[in-house]
Copies of this chain bind each other. A is one copy, B any other.
Amino acid sequence: MANVVVGMLGLGTVGSGVVKLLSNHPTIQLKKVAVRDLAKAREISPDCELTDNPEAVVNDPEIEVLIEVMGGEQPALKLITDAINSGKHVVTANKEVLAKNGPELFRKAREKEVAIFFEASVAGGVPLISTIQKGLEANQISSVFGILNGTTNFILSKMEKEALPFAQVLKEAQDLGFAEADPTSDVEGFDVAYKLSILTALAFGKFVKPDDIYREGITKIAAEDLEHAAEFGYRIKLLGMAARLKKDAISARVQPVLVPLSHSIASLSGASNGIVVRGDAVGELMMIGPGAGQLPTASAVVGDVVNLATALRLQDFASYFHTKVGGDWQTVQDPDEWQSAYYLRLAVDDHPGVIGRIGTIFGEHEISISSIIQRGVTAEAANVIIVTHPVKTGNLNRALATLSKENFLSSIASRLAIFEDSPEQ
């Protein structure tokens, strides 16, 4: 694929992540990056031209795709508009610019036949936009709602868990760097309102003016409210919610609401985002993932760039959909090689020394036991329940084979692997 030349505005946390991830994509050539202060020390120094004049990026005729990760409404809006006018495609993570100016920007983009990609603008790493735009193509979406701000979810979770007042938890979140020095955008729901405006455009075809979205923050929530809510079977969450009412009206609101504990969205604690989409055909679909963070957000940006670049260099479109599916069979690992902890239930005769003998045999095969208990002892039989530490599966198989030769063992009643939180091992 011929190279696609891109330029970028901003080299902060997300911008630096974008530079890192772009290095895996040799066909995408980052030519220029505009920064506020050339002198500033940086996490990463991209192997391309740095400039403190953003217009130099926007006006570079060689640049086909502009990545905007500077944030804030201005000058981002003006620069994006200039880029579109000069026929550049735009990839942006800027929810504020999109939410406040979406219709105008997308009208202009259509007119200039360029694309605006914005996966990173909502729910960071959660590929929500490709899901709604492509995955749910055949659905009439009736509502979309969810936890779209990790900071406030972290605060509410901690307030409930530790029965602490808002102000104190906010302070701790700020000390931990989970909340901004000026937390207004998060705790008053502006951040969620911007994201919800973009979600309404995806789900229902039109942006909602952020000012038209009913917005309530979490600053007035008291620990005792969280407590009462729990008594009634609810948990308080700050949700962004939009629902289709009739042909051309929707409801759109950002507010802390009592969510029934039975709903998956209620169990989402800490900083992740969770978004529920309801479609007439699919029913309810929920996506959970990182709502922010350098690499998750950067992966959404770079994903957009790569998809855009692929489409720009499309020979036959079919290849566009086949890039990842190969024409060969995959080779797999020998199960004996797996590292896994195991749960075992052994039916044994109940006489002295059995546990010791089991321990010895396991030891001989380098299997270390995490816990072992005896259950259901009757005159003639007992159950020995064993949980091992992670072991080589081949060793376990050999140990069980040896064990089977012992007279005290009537059967290996159960042998189940324990899920490794990192199955890669």
Chain A interfacial positions (CB closer than 8 Å to B) = 17, 21, 24-25, 89, 102-104, 106-107, 109-110, 113-115, 117, 119, 125-127, 129-140, 142-143, 145, 200-202, 204-209, 212-214, 220-222, 224-225, 228-229, 232, 234, 236-237, 239, 241, 243-245, 248-253, 255-260, 263-264, 267, 279-290, 293, 295-296, 298-303, 305-307, 311-312, 314, 316-333, 335, 337-338, 343, 345, 371, 375, 383, 385, 387, 413-414, 416-419, 421-424
The minimal Cβ–Cβ distance linking A148 to chain B, given in whole angstroms, is: 15
Contact B322 A110 (CB under 8 A): yes
With beta carbons under 8 angstroms apart, the residue of B258, B306, B329 that contacts A343 is: B258
Please indicate the chain B residues that have their CB under 8 angstroms from the CB of A208 in the complex.
329-330, 332
A201 to B279, CA, bound (A): 28
Please indicate the chain B residues that have their CB under 8 angstroms from the CB of A213 in the complex.
332
The minimal Cβ–Cβ distance linking A83 to chain B, given in whole angstroms, is: 14
The answer to whether residues A135 and B303 also contact, given A200-B330, A257-B419, A332-B213 and a CB cut-off of 8 A, is yes
Please indicate the chain B residues that have their CB under 8 angstroms from the CB of A250 in the complex.
330-333
Closest to A296 in B: B282
The answer to whether residues A21 and B413 also contact, given A131-B127, A424-B143 and a CB cut-off of 8 A, is no
A209, A237, A258, A338 interface centre (most CB from chain B within 10 Å): A258
The minimal Cβ–Cβ distance linking A103 to chain B, given in whole angstroms, is: 5
Closest to A276 in B: B288
The answer to whether residues A24 and B140 also contact, given A208-B329, A413-B222, A414-B222 and a CB cut-off of 8 A, is yes
The minimal Cβ–Cβ distance linking A410 to chain B, given in whole angstroms, is: 15
The answer to whether residues A225 and B345 also contact, given A205-B326, A330-B206, A416-B257 and a CB cut-off of 8 A, is yes
The answer to whether residues A318 and B133 also contact, given A24-B140, A333-B250 and a CB cut-off of 8 A, is no
A417 to B225, CA, bound (A): 12
Apart from the given pairs A109-B318, A281-B296, 4 other A-B contacts in the complex at a CB distance below 8 Å: A220-B414, A234-B343, A257-B419, A282-B295
The answer to whether residues A343 and B135 also contact, given A201-B326, A250-B332 and a CB cut-off of 8 A, is no
The answer to whether residues A299 and B317 also contact, given A245-B333, A258-B416, A263-B421 and a CB cut-off of 8 A, is no
The minimal Cβ–Cβ distance linking A295 to chain B, given in whole angstroms, is: 4
A135 to B213, CA, bound (A): 28
A321 to B424, CA, bound (A): 35
Contact A289 B289 (CB under 8 A): no
